Each structure stands twice: as structure tokens, then as C-alpha cells.
Structure 1
């Protein structure tokens, strides 16, 4: 074997090793870091950032309602509610739990003791609270009403640390909040193409967010709504890693070529 042929084998061997590395272990920092277009503190101020809009109550939502009066016992009559099955329930569990609250029925109504049925679908929680307070004022003197979602749920799936359905006590939840609850993206998650699936009046909406860019702060999907689904796609590295046949083939070829080169070198 002449020197030129030996060099060709070595070159082929090293090229296969590089290809194997790129396919299974090497990841550019440009695909990992968030908000890469913010280069300095002077550029940290963003204009036209997305504004938060209060979520709208819809049928099948569960509302946690408390009416406080001068006589706590009389107010407790209105506050009576039953446990309603719901998904999620905590930031670290995706098991079914019982959410206590008032279920908004298919007609968009809730039914409160003494007050009766009230149509709350299409209202914000603030508007629904004011409606209940006005109705309760006809029975009690200066009632105080607290109202929030009992099943404000978002689902985070795909390449995150802890995929699950999360029930949150706060209505103002951003995509970054949801990903933080889910343990952030894994090293295999695509940060430039995070999918948001939203149910808007019975129709599905889809949006893609690029976490590498600060433009997500301007997106109308930056703040999540109840029942949103966040899906993080696997990157090419994960696809290559899960393709065991391809990885094994490359490993075998590299090993065979290594043996051949060693054998050729020893007989020179």
C-alpha cells in the first residue's frame, strides 16, 4: 500500500468521525442561547412589547368564587360549591385532581345560592366579579367578591424537563413562565420553533415562537391563555440520537476503518 492510498484512508476515517460527532454530540451555542439579538444592556429596552389582555371566561371553565359579608355565616351560603374533575392541579403533577369551584355550563352560566343563575361566559374575571357583587348587593350590605379561575391550565409537551399539564393560580402567564415550570428546554429542544396551540371559540390557532429572538416579547402569543398547549420540537441532534440503526452503522464503519488503518500501518 503506497503512501497516497494510506492518506486517503486516514482522510476518510477522520471525515466519518467528524460526521458522527456532528450527528450525535456537537451543538452550536447559537442554537442554545435565548434572545441572541440582545447584544448589550443598552439594547435591553424593547418597544411595542405585547400587552397582557385578561382571559375571557368560557363554558367548562371552573371559577373559584368567594363572597365576604359582615356576617361570615350568611356569605358562606353563596360560597358553597362542589369538587369538579379537572386535569392538572399542581405544578409538579399531571394526574387528575378535584378542583373546587363553580362550573360554567354549556349556556355560559353559573348558579349561586340565593343569587341564582348568572351568565358569565364572554366576561373577564373582573367583569364577572363586578356582576356578582352587584347581584349580592341586593341581599347583603357592601359584599366583597373574590373571583379567579380554578382551572387555568396550560400543557407543556415535548423536549422539556418535566412535560405536564399545569394548573396555575395566576392568569398572567407567559411562555417563559410555562417553560420554567416545565424545567426549561432540554439540550435536544428546538428553541427557534416552539409551537403554541390555542383554542379560540372552538377553532384551533397555531403560532411559532423563536426563543432565540427578543421578538417573542412582541408576539400576541407571548402571554398564554387557559388550555393553551406548548410543544417543543426535538432538534436534529435528538433525531439522530434516536435513530439507533444509523448511529450503530456509523460506529461499526468507524471501528472497521480504524482496524484496517492500524493493520495497514503495521505492515508497512
Structure 2
């Protein structure tokens, strides 16, 4: 009987160890931790918002307005479907102005305008100057409509998301993706950013409030966020085959002990 009780205790210890491996502390899960945060006064953290410059293959929406709608229509593509952001991504390409591989957009009447390397505001000023040559009292508005980010890894809804408000930070991106799962690492978030020199990769820690002071807190078009699995998830994955082995051995031990007890009790 003692041997069988010993086997049962072994099985219980295996289950207990698995449960303990699945435990999380508050320090591992809470975002933007800072001992200075309190409920008496706000803590100000100065953000460093990156300045995005238009790149090849970006898509711009250009809205030209004038008292004469007939004349205005000559300069504007039909953007009527761009309402409250409810638009098929393919339509953005068809209705917008794509930056070609030389960095130009082609505006009706005006012709080609080089916008590669400009900010959206600078591009708006340039297009306004060009439109003023052909149209009096016109108002020009330029927006980047190809602001797309991708969120992958241990999140509830991985995929790509279009941003319609001109800027987004990491927390907003994770919110769109349904937040990080319990198996995702909060201190190993990989940000992949496209630059003129290639791909830039940096690891971010969501638990550190200093992240809000980083130039990487705000996302840029075509950024990719990858949430790596946490250590507990890796341990769980490695323990699964061991659990099967331990369960089999425990079951075998119970059968052996039962057989031995029967043999010992047989006259």
C-alpha cells in the first residue's frame, strides 16, 4: 500500500508542478509600470512622435475644393467611398494617388509631382502650389491612406490593420488585435520598421513606462509588431511530452503495485 501511495504522490506532484508553472505575477503582466504613478497627481511623460516621410508605393488621397465643383472635379479622383473609414483596402489603391518607383504622383491637369521624402504636410503645400497655377481660390487637402500596420504572434486576432486617424501607438495596435494572450511575452515585443536603408528591428518592453518616451511608441506605416511567446508557454510546450511520459509511468506503477498486492495477498 505504501508503494501505491508513493505512486499517487508522484502523480500529484507532477500535476502540482504543472499548475505552478502556469502561475503569473502582476509584474509580468501589467503594462507601463512606474513607481511614480499614483492616484493623487498625473505623471507627465513627453512623447517623441516620429515624423513620417512619404515613400515609394504609398497611396495618397488628394481632395481639391473650389466654389466651382465642375472645375474641381478635374483635379480630384472620386473619393466618395471613403466614409468613416469603411472602405475596402483595394479601393484605396484604385481611388488614391500611388507614389511610383521614381517618387512621383500623377495629378490630372497638373502632371507629375515628386513627393517621395516629403512629410504629408509638405506634400500638401507642394500640391497646393501646383493647383494654384490652374485654379483660383482652391483648397487642397492631402492624406496618407496607406497607413497599414501588422500585428503577429501571441495576440488574439493577428493580422494587418488600416489606420485612418494619421497616427497610432503600440497600445492602440495591440487593442485592434485583441490584446496579448496569456501566453505572450510583455517584455519581448519585436518591432520591424522599414527604412530607406532596409529593415530596422528593435525589441520593446511593454512593462516599462519609459516606452512612452521612446520614438518607437508611435507606429509608422508598414510597421510590424511581433509578440513572442513567453517562457511559461515555452515550458508548457516542452513539458507536454514529459507529462505524457509521467502519466504513463504513473499508470504503469499503479498497475504494477496492484498486481504485486494481489500476488502478496494470494494464499
Report TM bin, short chain. 0.7 to 0.9
5+ residue gaps, structure 1, are: 83-89
- 1:1-268 alignment, distance < 5 Å: 12-23=10-21, 25-38=22-35, 39-42=37-40, 44-47=42-45, 49-80=46-77, 97-99=90-92, 100-243=95-238, 244-256=240-252
SS of 1:192's equivalent in the other structure is strand
Cα RMSD over matched residues? 3.1
Q: 1:150 to 1:32 in 2, by over 3 A?
A: same
TM-score computed with the length of structure 1 as normaliser: 0.82
Residues 176-209 of structure 1 show CA distances to partners (whole Å, capped at 9, x for unaligned) of 1100111111111101111100011141111111
Q: 1:68 to 1:257 in 2, by over 3 A?
A: farther
Q: 1:143 to 1:178 in 2, by over 3 A?
A: same
SS of 1:55's equivalent in the other structure is coil
Give the Cα separation in 2 of the matches to 1:190 and 1:125: 35
Give the Cα separation in 1 of the matches to 2:176 and 2:118: 28
Q: 1:264 to 1:40 in 2, by over 3 A?
A: farther
Q: Compute the displacement of 1:240 (Å).
A: 3.9
5+ residue gaps, structure 2, are: 80-84
Q: 1:237 to 1:265 in 2, by over 3 A?
A: farther
Q: Compute the displacement of 1:125 (Å).
A: 0.7
Give the Cα separation in 1 of the matches to 2:199 and 2:173: 20
SS of 1:45's equivalent in the other structure is coil
- Of structures 1 and 2, the larger Rg is shown by 2
SS of 1:127's equivalent in the other structure is helix
Q: Compute the displacement of 1:254 (Å).
A: 4.9
Contact 1:196 1:206 in 2 (8 A): yes
- Runs of 4+ residues over 6 Å off in structure 1: 5-8, 258-268
Give the Cα separation in 2 of the matches to 1:6 and 1:246: 21
Work out the number of aligned pairs and report it.
255
Give the Cα separation in 2 of the matches to 1:36 and 1:53: 23
Residues 123-157 of structure 1 show CA distances to partners (whole Å, capped at 9, x for unaligned) of 11111011111111111112111111111010000
Give the Cα separation in 2 of the matches to 1:253 and 1:129: 72
Instruction: Tell me which moved more, 108-117 or 201-210.
Output: 201-210
TM-score computed with the length of structure 2 as normaliser: 0.82
